[in-house]
Amino acid sequence: MTKHTNTQKDLAINGAKISRRDILKTAGVGGVGVILGASGLGGLLSLKEGNAAATDKKDIIPFYGKHQGGITTKTQNHVYFVSLDVTTSKKEDLVKLFKDWTTASALLSEGKPVGELSSNEFLPPKDTGEADGLSSSNLTITFGVGPNLFVKDNQDRFGLKQKQPKELVDLPKFPLDALEEAWTGGDLCIQACADDLQVAFHAVRNLIRIARGKATLRWAQTGFQRTKQADPKEATPRNLFGFKDGSANSDVNNENQMNEQVWVQPGDGPNWLVNGSYLVVRRIQMFIEVWDRSTLKEQEKTFGRYRDSGAPLGQKDEFETLDLKKKNEQGEYSIPVDSHTRLSHGDGSQKILRRAYSYSDGMDVKTGSFDAGLLFLCFQRTPSKQFIPIQNRLAKMDKLNEYTSHRGSAIFACLPGAKQGGFIGETLFN
Amino acid sequence: MKLLKVSGILLFSSSLLFGCANTDKTTSTEKVKETKNTATKALDGVTEAYREYAIGEIEEFVKATEAFTTAVKNGDIEQAKALYGPARMHYERAEPIAEVFGDLDPKIDAREGDVPEEEWGGYHRIEKGLWVDNTTKGYEQYADQLMKDVNLLRAKVDTVEVTPDLLITGAVDLLNEVSTSKVTGEEDRYSHTDLYDFAANVEGAEKIYQLLNQELEKKDKELSKEIQTRFDEIYSLLNQQKNGDGYKLYTELTEAQVKELSQAIDALAEPLSQLGMVTEAS
């Protein structure tokens, strides 16, 4: 609202000039009196005042480090995930983008704006401002690169072809996949997680703004899980089917386990990705109306766990080791052969680090049902030995497939972390 | 965005839909004033040149509207349809100036629903007649009124004081118009000639950029280059949608093309929004 064109209809309100157009834009609200702000200079908030009180050190997850944040970081309350198409054809633009993103992300992680406010009122503020005064909320920003960044339509777009890891290729088509173009693929991704959705959105918005002219949004999805406020004991979160999800997840505090399952190790492939990881994203619609009318027994047999306690069927405790051999009185396996739990476990040799969030995007306009489900995010060292075999088993016979549909899918290599003074992607681009 | 008349419609209230706090603007305001003063002098020639450009476009608009309204009154529907899109381009190029006249702008350019039905006239009213009712009959009075309003606009335009502010905000506003109503096909919802308005808005913004460029290059050569590149990209996309001398209909665009155009506007408007640095002392 810094515009004051020399309008004949400029009005003075509280001593501030507001142009005809500013007022008119509010007129559509139906005659209700709405005037935007106190005015002419409304954009000039003092950033110092705005942010001083805000940041509490305990809410900060350092951006720089051996690995990127947002992978083994304890799952925050919200995610804002975006997939991007790169529109520039110059490698130097891409490198500049990652440098600018790194600088901005380091600031954002500390709850700071992406740039200082200029005293020139004819310029838009560098930071969009909606996180002024908010804490950093454990914000993590994780960047990844997709297969098409290396080769697209047989073109070696940025001279990176030689560097493409064998593991970084489009996922195979799984049985029952109902993927939609609008939710699939991408050259780059940004996963912003925070305990506050406004903080996460602010981060993504500013990063996308920095990317204008170089990359554009391809698709975007927010996600949530129960918050720390709602569940101070931090029990295993429940998905939108009401079941505990993540009981058997890997232990992020166990470094050996993470090195074995999540972090790319020297010798795995090209060295640039060492200390990085592979992210698989699936947007899985859940037919919650259908689920809501199936019996509790049916629901529990579908998952292979009790809804209430999260314990495997036939067992007592949520965290008990699955007893896949156990049979019930009818002589059937307690955990059914087509149950989600049994199939995802397999022989136990394939593990992935799940970091999923629920999503709810209002109504599916075609059916009038909820458009809700799971933004399934998982990290791993070798997709061909981890996500792919697991998903193949699930897609073939998981009973849960009756209640879900995979609408979106993408794979990204999440770059190793950056040192202070360096930038994300340095090992790939240099 | 075509809008309503102000008077009598709005109640001013402190309960806000989009609230803004009362901001403390002591120190920064002082600085702003300094920069502004420096700017005004350095940009005197530019504002004068823009005034000439805008007046030139409005003069062309008068002629084009004359031809258009004559066709309507003569009942020559095909001719009227053919003249509609191109005629509007002159207005859309000079929009930062034309819009200054808060009373005339809605009379000339209001879309259906922007103003009460009984007050609705101008280009879009006739557009509806031509493309929806498929007639010029009954629209002669609208044509007469439109011509009067456009003549009045020409007479008034000499009185506009062009300031650097008007140019700086005007350039981005032109693109914002594209983002919010042209690229969505809402502007020319009956004729679907939105791409004419789209192109004209971009041309109008480019004119401002060109005029300010000498000053901009002194401040930031890279930025100037980037803006030019982004303009070139938009023109290249628009050129793909040419149909003879004019443009394809909005309804002939694919969803992917609309998205591509929209994102190209964003990519241009972002660096263009830095034009304000020309107001800073060198």
Closest partner CB to A9 (pick from B6, B263, B276) = B6
Whether chain A has a CB inside 8 Å of the CB on B1: the answer is yes
Whether chain A has a CB inside 8 Å of the CB on B85: the answer is no
Q: Do A44 and B17 touch (CB under 8 A)?
A: no
Interface of B with A in 137-196 (CB under 8 A): 160-161, 163-166, 168-170, 173
Full-model pTM: 0.85
CA distance B257 to B185: 13
Closest partner CB to A31 (pick from B9, B28, B102) = B9
In sequence order, which residues have a C-beta less than 8 Å from that of residue A50 and are 6 or more positions away? A113, A129, A132, A133
Partners of A198 in the β-ladder: none
Q: Kindly report the length of chain A.
A: 430
Q: Do B28 and A213 touch (CB under 8 A)?
A: no
Cα dihedral A151/A156/A158/A162 (nearest 10): 80
pLDDT of residue A118: 86
- CA B10, distance to chain mean position in Å, is 24
- If we measure between CA atoms, which residue out of B266, B56, B42, B273 comes closest to residue B168? B273
CA distance A22 to A4: 9
CA distance B78 to B81: 5
Q: Do A212 and B4 touch (CB under 8 A)?
A: no
> In degrees rounded to 5, what are phi and psi of residue B90?
-65, -40
Residues of A in contact with B19 (CB under 8 A): 37
Quote the tokens at residue A50: 């705005």
Residues of A in contact with B271 (CB under 8 A): 212-213
**Complex ipTM > 0.85:** no
For chain A, what is the mean pLDDT?
89
At A189, the amino acid letter reads C
pLDDT of residue B281: 80
Interval A308-350: pLDDT, tens: 999 999 999 999 999 999 999 999 999 999 999 999 999 999 9
| Coil, strand or helix at A225 | coil
Q: Do B18 and A34 touch (CB under 8 A)?
A: yes
Is residue A82 scored above 50 in pLDDT? yes
Quote the tokens at residue B162: 């062009």
Rounded to an integer, the average pLDDT of A112-134 is 93
CA-nearest residue to A29 within chain B is B17
Q: For chains A and B, what is the number of CB pairs under 8 angstroms? A: 153
CA distance A13 to A300: 63
| Number of Cβ atoms within 10 Å of the Cβ of B85 | 22
Closest partner CB to A24 (pick from B3, B96, B226) = B3
Nearest-CA distance B209 → chain A (Å): 15
Residues of A in contact with B102 (CB under 8 A): 7-9, 20, 24
Whether chain A has a CB inside 8 Å of the CB on B20: the answer is yes
pLDDT of residue B44: 85
Is residue A420 scored above 60 in pLDDT? yes
Q: Is B125 exposed, middle or buried (0-12, 13-18, 19+ CB in 10 A)?
A: buried
Interval A259-285: pLDDT, tens: 999 999 999 999 999 999 999 999 999
Q: Give every residue of chain B whose pLDDT is below 50, as ranges.
A: 1-16, 20, 22-37
pLDDT of residue A117: 85
Q: Do B101 and A8 touch (CB under 8 A)?
A: yes
Partners of A145 in the β-ladder: A188, A413
| Coil, strand or helix at A152 | strand
pLDDT of residue A58: 78
CA distance B205 to B199: 10
Quote the tokens at residue A347: 């022989």
CA distance B160 to B158: 6
pLDDT of residue B18: 58
Interface of B with A in 122-141 (CB under 8 A): none
In sequence order, which residues have a C-beta less than 8 Å from that of residue A22 and are 6 or more positions away? A1, A3, A36
> Is the separation of the CB atoms in A376 and A330 below 8 Å?
no
Closest partner CB to A20 (pick from B6, B13, B168) = B6
Interval A132-156: pLDDT, tens: 999 999 999 999 999 999 999 999 9
Closest partner CB to B165 (pick from A5, A9, A31) = A5
Q: What is the DSSP string of B123-165?
A: HHHHHHIIIII---TT-HHHHHHHHHHHHHHHHHHTTPPP-HH
Closest partner CB to B102 (pick from A20, A28, A34) = A20
Is residue A50 scored above 60 in pLDDT? no
Nearest-CA distance A199 → chain B (Å): 19
Nearest-CA distance B76 → chain A (Å): 36
pLDDT of residue A104: 98
CA distance A313 to A344: 15
Q: Do A38 and B23 touch (CB under 8 A)?
A: yes
Nearest-CA distance B20 → chain A (Å): 4
pLDDT of residue B19: 52
